[in-house]
Each structure stands twice: as C-alpha cells, then as structure tokens.
C-alpha cells in the first residue's frame, strides 16, 4: 500500500466499521430503554406495595417482576455480545466498566426483591435501590452517546439519553408521590425533593428537545396526554400540601389515581423513546448504506483514474500525470474537509454531555475530600442545589472551581 | 459473562489493547521524526544549491536525497503495517486520511527533485513544497497525539509534537536564511516572515516544555549549544539588516556559516527529540507491564473471592454474601475512579492541541468563504497575525468568532 488512494479507502472502511459498531450499540440502548421502563414500573408498584397492604399491588408486583426478569436476561446477553467483539468497541475500558457497575447492581436484585417480599424495607430504601440500578443502566447509554464518532448519530443518542434521564426523573416522582399518598403525610425534605424532581424532568426534556428533529418533536407534541398532565398537576398540588395543617387527607383511592395517571404519562413518554430508538436504528442503517455507496464510488473513480493514466500515450505523461495527481489531491482534500466538519459538529453535540461530566467530577471530588459514598456525594450536591435554588450542574461547577484552592485529599 | 468481575477484566483488557496500539503508533512517530529531520536537511541544502552554483552543495544534496529515500521506504512500510491491523486503530478514518495526504505529497517528491536538479525552481518554490510535505507528516503525529487514550502517554506525545513543530520552524528558518544570504538581499515580506518564524519556534518550544518532565528539560538545557545560538543570533541580525541601505553585503562564506550553525542547533534539537521518543517508548512499555500486572492481580483476587464464597458454610451465606458483594463493589468503584481521573487528565492534556484545531477550523472557513487554497488560507491567517502583531491562533479565534455573523459559503 504505497498509494494515497488506498489510504482514502482504508479511512472510509474505518468509518463504516465505526457505523456498524454504533448500530450494535444502538440495539443495546434500545433494549436498555425497554428494561428501564419495566424497572421503573416495578419500582412504582413496589412502593405502593410496601406502603399499603393492597393485594392488588402485591399481584401487580409479581407480574412486573416476571417481565423484568425476562428483559434482564436479554440485556445481559446483549452485554455479552458486546464483550465478545471486545476489540471493536470504542472506549471499551469505560464502557465495560459501566457494564460492570450495572451488572453489580443487577446481581443484588434477587436479594432486594426478597427483602421487599418480606416487607423488610421502607419505600424510601426500596426506591433508592431501584434508582441506583437504573442509574447504572443509563450510565451505559451515556457512555454510548459520549463515544459515538458520527455527529448525526451522536445527536440522536444525546436526545435519547436526555429523554431517558427525564423519564427516569418522572418515574422517581411516581415512586415518591406513591409513597407520600400511601402514608398520607409529607415532610419538608420530601417536599423539596418532589419539587426538585419536577424541575429536573423539565430540564432533561428541554435538553432532549434541543437535539431532536422536527418529526420527533411533533410526535411528542401530538402524543402528549393533556388530560393526564392536568390530573398529575392537580395531584401534585394535593400531595405537596399534605404537610400543611388543616388540609384534608386524600381519599384511599388517591394512591391508585396517582399511580395510574403517572403511568399513563410515563407510558406516553415510552412511545416517544421508542420513536427515538427506531429513528436511531434507521439513521444507522442509512449512514452505513451511504458510506458503503461512497466507498464503491471512490473505488470506481480510482479505477478509472488509474486506467486513464495507464492508457495515456507514453509521450504525454506531462499531461496525464498532473491531471491524475490533481484528481487524487481533490479526493484527499474533500475527505479531509468532510472529516473535519464531522469532528467539529461532534464536538458541539458532545458539549451537551458535559453537564453530566461536571456533576460526575464534582461527585468524585466530594468522595475524595470528605470520604463520602457516591450516593451521599450526590445527595450533598442536590442539597446544595436545593438550598441555593440553583441547578445541580451549577453547584457542581462551583465545587470544581473551589477545588483549585482546596488542599488535596488526605 | 454474567458477572461484573468479568467486565472489570474486559475493561482492563481494552486498556492493554489501547496501550499496545499506542506503542505501535509511537514507533511510527519516532520514524517520522527521523524522516522529517532528513527532509529538513534536504530542504536547507537544496535552497543553497538553488541559490548558488556551489558544487559542494550539489554533492551534499545527492547524499541527502539518498538518505531520505531510504527513510521514506521505512515510513511507507510503517504506514502499511498500521493499515493491515486496520480495525485496531483508534480514530482510524482521520489517521488514514492524514496518511493519504502525507503519501500524496510524498509521491510528488521524485518530480520535485527532478525540477530541482534541472534548477527549474526558485528556492522559495522548493521550500514551499518541502514545507507541505513535512506538514503532512507532522499532521500524522498530531493525529496520534490527539487520539491517545492514556493521559501520561498523551502528555509525552503532545510535548513531542510541539517540539517537532518547533524544530520544523527552525528548519524553515534555516532554509529562508540560506536563500537570503545566498541572494545577498531581503525584502520587507521576507523580513516579516523571518521574524514570524523565530516567534513561532519559541512558541512551540514553550508549549513542548510545558508538557515535558524535569529530566527532559534538564537534558535539553544541558545539550543546548550556546555558542551556536549566539552565532545564529548574530547572523539573524545581519540577514535581517540586508535590506537596509548602507549595510555591507555578507562575505561569500556567510551562506555556509549560516547553514552550519543552524544545522548544529537543529541537530541538537534532534537529540532532544530522540530523548522524547525513547521516553515515549519506555513509558508505553512500562504502562503495558503495569496494566498486565494489574490484570493478573485482579484475576487472582477475583479467584480468591470466588473460592471463599464457595467454601463458606451453606448456613452462613448472609455473612459471606455481603462481604463478597462489598469487595466486588470496591473493585468496580476503584476502577471507575481511576478511569474518571484518567479521562479528566486526558481532557486537560488534549486542550493543548486545541490551538492547532482552531487554526485548522479557521483555515477551513477561509477556504470555503473565499474559495482559497489551503496554502493561501494559511498565508492569509499568517499575514493577519503579522499585521496585527498577534499569534496565529488568536487571529484564528477571531476569524471563527466572526464566522457566526457571516453568511454561509455560496
């Protein structure tokens, strides 16, 4: 391989390779979406199961656990598939480490469910365990979005990740509200947490919308169930006021009502998520086809270039040589420009993921400086954000800025 | 693979894979360093050959061309080796595209040398062709530095790339000064260009020093030939004053004097470059060994964990289960923290390469908006920098900022 032309083809083949890898990762992301959705529902049902003695929710829970187990098996084997093609994974170390974290939480699930069945856990404790499990799965999606080398695909992955994260906050709200309505009471920290979950949902959905195309936005708008939203807003108002003396206790049906309306909304969100994942799949397929077509075109024009160079009369090299050289130069330059533009756009898209990275860094800093667990570090950031009425990412920024004047961890 | 432990190992194996890839890339970088050095010398000799009728330089040139040809064959086969393991290359598309650009310039070399031998080219035209060729080779090194996944290795690659780039500006200065002394005259644009080359050298060497360790800096300091530097400063002063009326023409020996002192200095720089590449090689080897050791340790501690979990009496699962789980959790967390820290540091190191990316982007913009060739776009930026007495990267920043208010290219 001494010709630049062959390296242009090699570069294109690397692109195709990367796109095929992304297609596989996208399948995994779509599966994680389905599993997360089922786990969110299990969390919501479990909370009401723990807070009441409703035989209906006991039954619902068992059905939901069965669905989750079947999806978990699919996710696990998708992870396995990813690992057997180990060398073809970009950012493999980070991705597999995220998988290890997710699987570790997954392995604790049977024991967690045992304690729930024995009612040996509070709704709060159960929620926290499911939140950790889902966070582990979403971190795998985040890594996939962060390591995507194609800007268009990265764009959809960023929209999807933010949407999944927003939906997860909606799920956390469903669980929290369920526990509040079941207990018939709310304290000040829970009130703040509830407000915060509402804000975080909105923030993630806005971030997702920023990277969604018009079709997805239109579908989201069309599918929005305004009746459910109105009911949720009414119940939020009731639930948040439970702490205020003089307010009437909710009727016994309120728990079910809250759960059902939240579920209607979250299931609608799931259809948008589904649309985004099928968009992702279609995009990967289209890009692979395009790249393969471009490769074929390049091969053809190279062959014709080489043919005309060979056919040129031997006394006219001065005429054909420069012409051939010029075409090769054009081809190389065109590819350079295209790769440069892609990499510029990729940088812009990826910047949207920085917010989360800043939070991760600030968390790591608090863990090191104050010997906090990961959970407690996040709670500290969230508490600071709630106290200062700021977004968590702003607080995280401030923590990192402060770190420069702090001594290192002992 | 359903255990998180296996994914921890898979993550580590990906790291080792990446390090081995970096070791191979580093060998290529070291080879490019040697070839670039030889080409720089060929450029300097050629300039004097073209500007004078010295038989001595005609002879030197032939010897130098032979050396270059032998090194070019080595570089070409190193490219080939990289391409045969195609799928294992990170950022393959960008890297191979750079290789295509470099090889394209390389293919034009025999014709260039033919025109030089026929004295059908000015020193300025010859310099420009060599500058392009070397820029193509350095762009491959840049890509290698930019795609390195390990922060320590990336740090050395960034130091090395900046050093190579600084040395290249020193080489360009040797060529420019050679042509000036040979012609016995200098015009205002050439004066400005000379000043600019001196500044750019310093800027690159400063950037390199920022990422070099104390040993390298000490070696650089110790190896610095102050006598050569003093002579070069004296000759710079003379050469830059050639345009001023009333100044004595340099003696006929000045060309040779300039060439020799510059060569002494550039050859000294080459030894520092050599030190940096051997540093790079040693670092890659050490990191691979460390990672393999860590993999073995992890495997051993996992086996012992699994053994003690199996040997635990069956009526004591509550005691051994959580203990095992805790150890796995610690392992996963430790790996997460390490990967996070690596990725943070990597971001810092890579930011140092941004300056060049900004220039590339501004160049691309000028090419699109004003239909300029790549060379002319760079010359425009350099001219703007010279006029405004700013650094090229500052001008490039300003160009990009302006772009937001400009209409798109027609």
Which residue, A49, A60, A57, A47, is CA-closest to A190? A47
> Measured between alpha carbons, how far is B381 from B368 in angstroms, rounded to an integer?
14
Q: How far does the CA of residue A71 sit from the closest CA of chain B (Å)?
A: 14
- Pick the residue from chain A with its C-alpha nearest to B360: A340
- Pick the residue from chain A with its C-alpha nearest to B337: A364
**What's residue B52's pLDDT?**
85
Residues of A in contact with B111 (CB under 8 A): 321
- Residue A22 sits at the vertex; the CA angle it makes with A16 and A23, to the nearest 5 degrees, is 90
Cross-chain Cβ contact A333/B374 below 8 Å: yes
> Measured between alpha carbons, how far is A70 from A284 in angstroms, rounded to an integer?
27
Question: Which residue has tokens 């051994």?
Answer: B320
Task: Show the low-confidence residues of chain B (pLDDT under 70).
Answer: 1, 85-90, 245-250, 309, 311-325, 403-410
Residues of B in contact with A83 (CB under 8 A): 1, 6-7, 10
* Partner residue opposite A97 with nearest CB, options B8, B93, B360: B8
- Pick the residue from chain B with its C-alpha nearest to A11: B93
Which residue, A19, A2, A11, A341, is CA-closest to B97? A11
Q: How far does the CA of residue A249 sit from the closest CA of chain B (Å)?
A: 41
Helices in A148-253 by DSSP H: which ranges? Answer: 151-183, 188-210, 214-223, 226-240
How big is the A-B interface in CB pairs under 8 Å?
A: 165
The conformational region for residue B66 under phi > 0 = left, psi -120 to 50 = alpha, else beta, is alpha
Residues of B in contact with A87 (CB under 8 A): 14, 17, 87-88
**What's residue B318's pLDDT?**
44
What is the tens place of the pLDDT at every residue in A65-93? 999 999 999 999 999 988 876 546 667 88
Q: Report yes or no: A38 and A67 within 8 Å, Cβ to Cβ.
A: yes
Cross-chain Cβ contact A6/B337 below 8 Å: no
Q: Is A282 strand, coil or helix?
A: helix
ipTM of the modeled complex: 0.82
Cross-chain Cβ contact B80/A1 below 8 Å: yes
Task: Show the low-confidence residues of chain A (pLDDT under 50).
Answer: 87, 316-320, 409-410
Which residues touch A330 (CB under 8 Å, ≥6 apart)?
A: none
Residues of A in contact with B3 (CB under 8 A): 103, 107
> Measured between alpha carbons, how far is A102 from A115 in angstroms, rounded to an integer?
20
Which residue, A191, A273, A264, is CA-closest to A44? A264
> Measured between alpha carbons, how far is B100 from A2 in angstroms, rounded to an integer?
9
Which residues touch B4 (CB under 8 Å, ≥6 apart)?
A: A99, A100, A101, A103, A104, A107, B328, B332
Q: How far does the CA of residue A97 sit from the closest CA of chain B (Å)?
A: 6
**What's residue B204's pLDDT?**
92
Residues of A in contact with B374 (CB under 8 A): 333
User: E strands along B293-349, which residues?
Assistant: none
Q: Is A309 exposed, middle or buried (0-12, 13-18, 19+ CB in 10 A)?
A: middle
Residues of A in contact with B107 (CB under 8 A): 3-4, 325
Residues of B in contact with A108 (CB under 8 A): 325
B292-297 long-range contacts (CB < 8 A, ≥24 apart) are B292/B16, B294/B12, B295/B9, B295/B12, B295/B13, B295/B16
**What's residue B222's pLDDT?**
85
Q: Which of A3, A4, A317 to mutate to test the interface with B (most CBs of B within 10 A)?
A: A4
- Pick the residue from chain A with its C-alpha nearest to B93: A11
């Amino acid at each position: 391989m001494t010709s630049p032309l062959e390296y242009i083809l090699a570069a294109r083949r690397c692109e195709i390779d990367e796109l095929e890898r992304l297609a596989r990762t996208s399948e995994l992301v779509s599966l994680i979406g389905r599993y997360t959705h089922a786990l969110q529902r299990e969390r919501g049902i479990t909370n009401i199961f723990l807070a009441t003695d409703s035989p209906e929710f006991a039954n619902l829970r068992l059905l939901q656990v069965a669905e989750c187990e079947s999806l978990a098996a699919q996710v696990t084997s998708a992870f396995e598939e990813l690992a057997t093609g180990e060398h073809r994974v970009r950012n493999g170390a980070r991705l597999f480490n995220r998988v290890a974290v997710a699987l570790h939480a997954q392995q604790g699930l049977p024991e967690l469910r045992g304690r729930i069945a024995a009612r040996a856990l509070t709704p709060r404790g159960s929620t926290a365990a499911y939140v950790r499990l889902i966070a582990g799965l979403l971190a795998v999606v985040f890594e996939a979005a962060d390591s995507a080398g194609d800007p268009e695909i990265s764009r959809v992955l960023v929209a999807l990740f933010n949407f999944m994260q927003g939906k997860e906050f909606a799920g956390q709200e469903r669980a929290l509200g369920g526990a509040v309505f079941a207990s018939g009471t709310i304290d000040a920290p829970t009130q703040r947490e509830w407000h915060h979950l509402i804000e975080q949902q909105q923030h993630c959905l806005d971030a997702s919308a920023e990277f969604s195309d018009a079709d997805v936005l239109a579908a989201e708008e069309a599918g929005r169930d305004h009746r459910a939203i109105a009911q949720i807003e009414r119940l939020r108002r009731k639930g948040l006021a439970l702490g205020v003396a003089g307010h009437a206790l909710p009727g016994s049906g309120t728990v079910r009502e809250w759960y059902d309306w939240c579920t209607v909304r979250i299931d609608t969100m799931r259809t948008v998520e589904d649309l985004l994942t099928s968009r992702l799949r279609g995009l990967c397929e289209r890009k692979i086809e395009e790249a393969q077509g471009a490769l074929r075109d390049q091969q053809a024009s190279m062959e014709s270039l080489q043919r005309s160079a060979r056919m040129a009369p031997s006394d006219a090299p001065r005429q054909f040589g420069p012409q051939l050289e010029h075409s090769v130069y054009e081809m190389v330059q065109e590819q350079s420009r295209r790769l440069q533009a892609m990499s510029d756009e990729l940088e812009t898209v990826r910047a949207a993921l920085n917010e989360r990275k800043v939070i991760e860094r600030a968390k790591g800093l608090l863990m090191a400086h104050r010997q906090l667990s990961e959970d407690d570090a996040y709670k500290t950031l969230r508490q600071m954000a709630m106290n200062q009425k700021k977004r968590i990412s702003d607080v995280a920024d401030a923590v990192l800025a402060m770190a420069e004047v702090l001594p290192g961890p002992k």
